[in-house]
Amino acid sequence: MSDIVTYEANGRIAVITLNRPEARNAVNGDVAEGLEAAIDRLEADDAVWVGIIQANTEGQSRPVFCAGADLKAINSGDAARLNTERGGFAGFVYRERRKPVIVAVDGLATAGGCEIVLAADLVVASTQSAFGLAEVKRNLIAGAGGLFRLPRAIGQAAAMEAILTGEPIPAERAFSLGLVSRLAAPGEALAEATKLAEQISQSAPMAVWESRQVVLAAAYADDATLKKMTNDAMRKVMSSEDLKEGLTAFIEKRPPNWQGR
């Protein structure tokens, strides 16, 4: 792990920080490799069940979660490093993973930065945040999932307007449209995301991970496929050690001690 993307685990929660505030946390090759390595670490750590991605905005007069691709890196011929084989852009947007990731946004998430947000499972944003795909203003295409994930998140009409105008969506409107799960005061996005992660980590991890997969597939799979996925998930959790623990804890009226197996 490098200092440009940091990883800190505390109990069941890991916080991953984009740490390039002087460049508005724009994605270069080091950020892409660092974020992919952080997700690798999250997935491999059996003690951690939920991840949070935030950004360091210290010293920024107008906070920016992530400004997207580093145009200087592209101009210098380093564009290929902005994508990884497993994760795509930023090493994250197309990454297959098991554990839920919450993104804590406290500023502008634009272009590829917005596409990082859209690739997460849950979004917590401060009221000073905004979300935009500004590529059309530069004769570019939002090529990291934004063109199909934003309509899924907020509906076609609102997404079409945002994409074709390139204008950002303020946090309050993003919340009303369903992109943002929870709103927080400026400077409090990470704290609110941590509360959400703690709530998730109180649930049985296997059930959370299996349920997440079905919910994600609901955006594109047919009912027959989703029914099979649900039944397969049910069989998996019903045969786990945590099933007995959950039932015993209920009978004994105590919090369950989940093991994730």
Active site residue 36: no
Active site residue 172: no
Q: Are 204 and 242 in contact (CB under 8 A)?
A: yes
Q: What is the 3-state secondary structure (H, E, C) of the chain?
A: CCCCEEEEEECCEEEEEECCHHHCCCECHHHHHHHHHHHHHHHHCCCCCEEEEEECCCCCCCCEEECCECHHHHHCCCHHHHEECCCEECCCCCCCCCCCEEEEECCEEECHHHHHHHHCCEEEEECCCEEECCHHHHCCCCCCCHHHHHHHHHCHHHHHHHHHHCCCEEHHHHHHHCCCCEEECCCCHHHHHHHHHHHHHCCCHHHHHHHHHHHHHCCCCCHHHHHHHHHHHHHHHHCCHHHHHHHHHHHHCCCCCCCCC
Catalytic residue, candidates 36, 135, 192, 210 = 135
User: What's the alpha-carbon Rg for the chain, to the nearest Å?
Assistant: 19
Catalytic residue, candidates 33, 36, 115, 210 = 115
* CA–CA dist 39, 14 (Å, integer): 10
Query: What residues are labeled active site?
Result: 115, 135
